[in-house]
Amino acid sequence: MEINAHTHSLPDQISIDIAVIGSGPGGAVSASLLAETGKSVLLIEEGSNFPIQSATSFSRDEILLKYRYAGINVAFGDTKIAYVEGCCVGGGSEINRGLYHRTPDSILAKWRAEFQVDDLSSEGLLPHFLACEAVSHVEYLPEGASAMSIRLAQGASLLGWNAIEAPRLYRYGSGTGDGHKQSMSETFIPKFLSSGGRLIADTRVDLLTRSAGRWRIKARSARGNGVPQQIEISASSVFVACGAVQTPSLLRRSGLTRNIGNSLRFHPMVKVVAEFAEDVNSPTDADPVHQIKEFEPKIGIGCSISTRPMLTLVMVNHPEYLGYVTANWRRMGIYYVQTTGGLSHVRNIPFFRDPLVRTRGNVEDLLRLAKGLKLLAEALFAAGATAVYPGIPGYPVLRSMTDVRALPDTLKNADGSLTSVHLFSSCPMGENKDVCATDSFGRVRDVDGLYIADASLLCTPTGVNPQGTVMAICHRNATFAIDNHFR
């Protein structure tokens, strides 16, 4: 059952068995499993509940409806990173492309060795990947990829580099034009509701306290007259799944600070626009899906959404060409290079609603991104690009490999060019108590009945699109909790 806080007042006090705070991939998967136990489960979401069809993907309307602060979030420091968060029922799954990967073996081995995560292997995770994939279908394009996507693969092939077509959490139907994304609002949340779970949207949780063996959740819910309603929710157990920034913020507001919010990580990214001699971009194209895997996990290369507004945004550092983009955008596409750095802290500020995210400069990240930018440009020129426009202030338009070789060997610390859509690792799991916020299965140390169930748990960046990892890890952890604590 869904309770829409925009149109109905809620009881001032609610008592349930389990509360799940946040409805993104981790929260939705966890809530769905927990509801199947027969216990009363309440899924609480700060954002509103919009159907997946309520706005065109990557449009202005979607950004205003479903992104936190219309996508304007910045990690400050000597290296600034602009990042995005979903804020709606379904979280980040509603706004991303749904590119899907299982966790690389090398990443799991690193987590076992450095963070001492118990019982974590590709073989052990496989049933959880399969269970999630059975609900959220993973498919390859039924028809050919877009020309701008194929160009990246062609360039890699000519250079002898490994490139793939990434599958997506998507149901394509009979063709690329009549499918729909397998976001949480299309998959696990309906499954959760059909199992007897309850969903409250437009409700922000401010504080968690523990009293008399139960958790007290202080929250504010929107009402039709615009006046926030203060509510208190009592629960035996709580799963916090607010995302890698908002989860540590809530826990720290609630007095829980041990290894929480100290190790937020990103996939810092730089974008370029490549121009070709012929059209490679059409409004009817499927989302681009090719990625170069040759240099992962340290350097990832791929293609991005390349609508005319998106192209204009990346070209803002080449203002003299903005009119040129308007006339020639069909011959252009957006590509990116990313790495696995961006170490940051999440801290609350008195009297401010949202936390401060502070980054610490990493020389290795900037060196890798500079190297990756040259590799990306090389692949694009091999694929026939006539020009490459780096989305970095002060960088020239590249017309040949001679121009590429003249680029600096590192990026500047604070040029404002870094962005990220992947956030994780702010509350890592594992038995290494010096750095881990939870045990190997997401249970917060030193308190009873409190779990984390989102990308905060991932010990390091995944090197690949992380949604598949988040879903599988949270499915694994919820299954463990059910078997060991909720029977």
Q: Which of 55, 75, 76, 74 is nearest to 66 (CA)?
A: 55
Q: Do 232 and 128 share a structural domain? A: yes
Residue 422 among the catalytic residues: yes
pLDDT for 283: 86
User: Tokens representing 265?
Assistant: 């990580």
Residue that is last in its domain, among 391, 420, 449: 420
Q: Do 221 and 188 share a structural domain? A: yes
Paired with 292 in beta bridges are 163, 301
- 161 in any annotated domain: yes
- 72 in any annotated domain: no
Q: Do 457 and 315 share a structural domain? A: no
Q: Do 217 and 113 share a structural domain? A: yes
pLDDT for 28: 98
User: Tokens representing 74?
Assistant: 């910045």
Q: Do 240 and 153 share a structural domain? A: no
Indicate the number of domains in the chain. Answer: 2
pLDDT for 44: 97
The residue ranges of the chain whose pLDDT is under 70 are 1-9, 174-178, 223-226, 414-416, 487
Q: Do 361 and 476 share a structural domain? A: no
What is the spatial distance between Cα 205 and Cα 72, in angstroms, rounded to a whole number? 21
- 67 in any annotated domain: no
pLDDT for 2: 52
Q: Do 397 and 345 share a structural domain? A: yes
- 240 in any annotated domain: yes
Any idea what the CATH number is for the domain that residue 465 is in? 3.50.50.60
User: Tokens representing 66?
Assistant: 């479903």
- 298 in any annotated domain: yes
Q: Do 478 and 339 share a structural domain? A: no
Checking 392-398 for CB contacts under 8 A at 24+ apart, the result is: 392/270, 392/317, 392/417, 393/317, 393/417, 394/317, 395/317, 397/318, 397/321
pLDDT for 12: 84
Q: Do 209 and 327 share a structural domain? A: no
What is the spatial distance between Cα 91 and Cα 197, in angstroms, rounded to a whole number? 18
Is the pTM higher than 0.95? The answer reads no
Paired with 438 in beta bridges are 429, 444
- Residue 412 CA neighbour count, 13 Å, CB half: 8
- Residue 249 CA neighbour count, 13 Å, CB half: 19
Tens digits of residue pLDDT in 422-480: 999 999 999 999 999 999 999 999 899 999 999 999 999 998 999 999 999 999 999 99
Q: Do 237 and 107 share a structural domain? A: yes
- 188 in any annotated domain: yes
pLDDT for 177: 53
Q: Do 293 and 236 share a structural domain? A: no
What is the spatial distance between Cα 371 and Cα 374, in angstroms, rounded to a whole number? 5
- 58 in any annotated domain: no
How distant is the alpha carbon of residue 83 from its chain centre?
A: 10
CA geometry: angle at 300 spanning 455 and 245, to 5°? 25
Q: Which of 345, 422, 475, 485 is catalytic?
A: 422
Residue that is last in its domain, among 399, 420, 441: 420
Q: Do 304 and 360 share a structural domain? A: yes
Which distant-in-sequence residues (6+ apart) come within 8 Å of 36 by Cβ?
A: 195
What is the spatial distance between Cα 272 and Cα 376, in angstroms, rounded to a whole number? 9
- 154 in any annotated domain: yes
Range of the domain at 368: 141-167+268-420
Residue that is last in its domain, among 371, 405, 420: 420
- What SS3 state is found at 192? helix
pLDDT for 6: 43
The answer to whether the CB of 251 falls within 8 A of the CB of 237 is no
